[in-house]
Structure 1
């Protein structure tokens, strides 16, 4: 049903229009003046307005101007007995979706209303899309329109309102903590977001840091200490660099994930904090578990919902948007004018391989704003990676299988047999690397 408002001061003409549109497709409301039409707009939803041009003190154009300012999505058709080109141009410039010259035929009226309704629907869809994009682009500071980032946003929103454990993989600087914060911000959890870097705390203090400790439980424990898990009660606990968590604590973390209970150091009293756990790593936990460096059962308990943050080099189309975001952010932070960037500099930024990912881009833009020097955006850029790809092939050709096998063996040798590092060195996915090792029977 189309909610249609007819605005016509001639009663006989108004009744004719009502008769024409009186069918199952329209819910019709009528008014005889602009003032009355405005009152109707404020009291009920309207999809389309069909208005006469001449309406006494105020005109259909006056109504159109009011509608476009206050109800921009509404479809609007306007009719006049003075069907001049000047009127048509004025109406369309003011934002009318269609224009009819009187007298008009029944079919022309219905087509005009339908055209305005389609314009209404399109504006509504665009508005919803823009709102979704704004929400997406402001999702806890995560910026990006690349396909890989769209998938990240979709997964974040899908699992945010659950209590499922999430494992975020990705290189350093890709925004893993931002993704974890987004999960918390989008959830309905009322507690705090508590973040801890598992690689930044001494092993001797790690247990107390995570699970808490009673006074006197260890040297220097002068008072009871609340652990990070307990501090995240009814909130989210983010364990960054989970691969660095000591094996001795991995079993205790697994117990908490399975049973929901913890014991502070020096205590026999069981606590049951309600904390959702989100973890992140740049390491290959599967490879670590095979090497005995990470518990396999903990890995599967953490990897309920996997999430991969793509490296910046795989979403280069987001670089201009990220630069704009960081430029605005740091210009405001340091009360500096927002500068422009030369196209040649921008091209170099787009071509760079960004080993430090978004964090590196952010740091370069911050220095640029602080020092007001464009060269800070490109100073020290390592171009050796590009040179690595500039191979000169012999005129006689090469044996590809032998060449590939040699590359795999050299990569393993240069990385002391570490398969994760060797795969990264060759810019191969870990599974693709293992496949090639098996293919060439390399142990």
Structure 2
């Protein structure tokens, strides 16, 4: 049996109220009767499940118009039908303008009433669907929105806005957790490719022997285990945007194929002899110093310049501490909505801890911390975790930076010279002593004129 639909009937004439109630009950409505606007408002407050209202125009000192104004002012998604004994077109127009979904002129037939209510019910369902869609879109936008009012973040926003409409390749730098993928998604969303695919790839998570086929595709039988043609990520992102996170992890061989794609707009799947044209915007990111990797021979110089058409640096959270309060508010709201939990209140002491913490893991660490707090709502545990993290960072430090700072170039030069002296001038052993590659060691010797 279909569950009766709740409806509020507002009619101040006792006989009419009883008659219309009987009609609605017979049509499988659960009727709540009211005899004035004041009664109707009280009923609405006590019965949140009401989805429809059928109200008379004239209701003592107030009218159906007053009830419509109240309902729409409360942003309640309720279908409304107004009945009037006068058949005035002015009343009908006013009712519709104020937010009624339909109107009836008295006297009316049972079928007319049911059709008007069906129309109002459909209009109400459309409003609810639009609200849900808007909420989903808003949530998606929140996921790609980058929050920040600090001057360094304003520069980020300005650059994203300036280049998003183009197809220029962008190289996003920054520490882990600073929001490099958020920046990439914002660039995609604001571009004319926004309705096309956005594919994000963590290059460091792809096994080196599979990276080429994963990115550029492969033909059936191209390698052991290739039982069918494989569509590469670049082909899957055709007409859209591809985001190569941790691009520094790609092997030199894959870097060569990526350079070819950037230069000529073509890909060649593994096992294929033909080049295939492709239209894709490439965004790349790395927390490593790619310029240093180029000097060390670990990253192709020509590829670096092809990727670094537009550089975009995401600042660490410690450089924009004025944004922390806004981020806290954002994450508390986001996670409380996500888990259906009332957002916890932060004490002044806890807020001070959050504002003074260094956040080595940047925005990602702040997000994870507040997600845990929303779920557990244990302020003591959160404070202990922050304190332990800070103490651990100090304990694990191999070197304590002097309070007055230091001259890095002189410090590095001194370390190189000490390593050479200790190993009797043997550069290979001196490089091992400093835990750097031989090429890196030679580069630094030349940099400090120690050759």
Bigger drift between 406-415 and 352-361 goes to 406-415
Q: How does 1:142-157 map to 2 (within 5 A)?
A: 142-157=146-161
Distance 1:404 1:271 in 2: 48
Deviations 1:353-395 (A, max 9, x none): 11110000011001111111123433132146679878589xx
When residues 156 and 391 of structure 1 are mapped into structure 2, their CA distance, relative to the original with a 3 A threshold, is closer
2:251 paired with 1:219: no
- Matched residue SS, 1:360: helix
Separation in 2, partners of 1:442, 1:340: 59
TM-score, with length taken from structure 1: 0.59
The whole-number CA distance in structure 1 between the counterparts of 2:152 and 2:187 is 17
Looking at structure 1, the residues matched to 340 and 173 of structure 2 have their Cα atoms a distance apart, in angstroms, of 36
**Kept in 2: contact 1:213–1:266 (CA 8 A):** yes
Return the alpha-carbon distance in structure 2 between the equivalents of residues 188 and 374 of structure 1. Answer: 45
Q: Which residue does the alignment assign to 1:185?
A: 189
TM-aligned CA distance change 1:304 to 1:337, over 3 Å: same
Q: 1:389 to 1:186 in 2, by over 3 A?
A: same
Aligned equivalents of 1:143, 1:415: Cα separation in 2: 40
Match of 1:93 in 2: none
Q: 1:163 to 1:263 in 2, by over 3 A?
A: same
Give the Å deviation of 1:141. Answer: 2.6
Equivalence for 2:172? 168
Measured in 2, the distance between the counterparts of 1:330 and 1:263 equals: 44
Q: How does 1:269-280 map to 2 (within 5 A)?
A: 269-280=274-285
After superposition, the Cα gap between the structure-2 partners of 1:357 and 1:392, relative to the gap in structure 1 and judged at 3 Å, is: closer
SS at match of 1:267: coil
2:159 aligned with 1:140:
no
Rounded Cα–Cα distance in structure 1 between residues aligned with 2:318 and 2:434: 23
Runs (5+) with no aligned partner, structure 2: 1-72, 74-137, 420-432
C-alpha separation between the residues in 1 aligned to 2:215 and 2:258?
9
Q: Report the equivalent of 1:247.
A: 252
- Mapped to 2, the partners of 1:383 and 1:328 lie a distance apart of 30
CA distance in 1, matches of 2:318, 2:179: 14
Which residue of structure 2 lines up, in the alignment, with residue 203 of structure 1? 208
TM-score, with structure 2 as normaliser? 0.58
1:273-422 correspondence runs (5 A): 273-378=278-383, 379=385, 380-383=388-391, 405-406=410-411, 409=414, 416-417=435-436
List structure 1 runs of 4+ shifted beyond 3 angstroms.
375-378, 383-393, 403-415, 440-443
